[in-house]
Amino acid sequence: MWRAETREQLNAITRRWRGEGLKTALVPTMGNLHKGHLALVEEARREADRVITSIYVNPTQFGQGEDFDNYPRTPDSDVKLLMQAGCDLLFIPEHSTMYPFGLENPVRVQASPDLAATLEGQSRPGHFDGVLTVVARLFNLVVPDIALFGEKDFQQLLVIRRMVDDLGYGIRIVAFPTVREQSGLAMSSRNNYLGVDERAAAGELYAVLRQVADHIRNGRGDWQQVERDARTRLESLGFRVDYVAVRRTKDLGPPGPADLDLRVLAAVYSGRTRLIDNVGANRVGISGE
């Protein structure tokens, strides 16, 4: 596995691959890799000739009081896992590589407000601007043909797709289904913050979202009451609920009577650990819609 830390090192490798006509796939990560990340790398192997994984904990997407300083970093084990998964190139830049003019006043990309101001964006103002700023920089440096993202961060996936389409990147964005622990808990680096009892109970978030999805498939259309019932259930299980929402899959707007492709999304706290998850909920078409 090749390794690059600077723009020059990265370009020397990727330029040669492009000259050979090889298709490249990028898997952006913040490290502390788990089976979800590795599933993305393995899918990238099927999609492209060469797989590039980036590891960079991006400070511009962390808000005031969030866990940037304490975010789990495990570079040695990450390297071993990527080699086993068949990664061809690890891009592990320093801040000076990603933000050569400093972090105080970088050029930023603003996320589309219609997608980014709700749900996660409402709870974490500016978060998606930071995400798009670093993703755009990675795309500009790596110049991949394909980039892969997990569906666990579903709103992030939509925001990135909008940027790619709007700015004409010409990169195919591949979404990969959420990889889960045996309990149903969506795999995440932040799961490491959970205590033993919290981790055992955290899978109930997925169970509640599946119940909501089942209600929707069975014809429930009173979205606000469905959301209130789900919030009550989550609170009864000991979670502190940030939001639970039924939205259109395509743009996360509030669903109307004719919308069939829906998503149930939630963010909760288990102790001090913030968990997010989502599930699809396709309604059966109703005559006349």
Q: Which residues are catalytic?
A: 37
d(CA 126, CA 266): 19
The enclosing H or E element of 48 equals: none
CB 97 within 8 A of CB 6: yes
Q: Is 29 exposed, middle or buried (0-12, 13-18, 19+ CB in 10 A)?
A: buried
Six-digit token string for 62: 């962390």
Give all strands (DSSP E) within 100-239, no chain letters: 146-150, 172-176
Nearest to 246 by CA among 223, 230, 225, 267: 223
Nearest to 157 by CA among 278, 6, 18: 278
CA angle, 111 then 130 then 117, to 5°: 40
The enclosing H or E element of 53 equals: strand 50-55
The enclosing H or E element of 19 equals: helix 7-19
d(CA 103, CA 65): 17
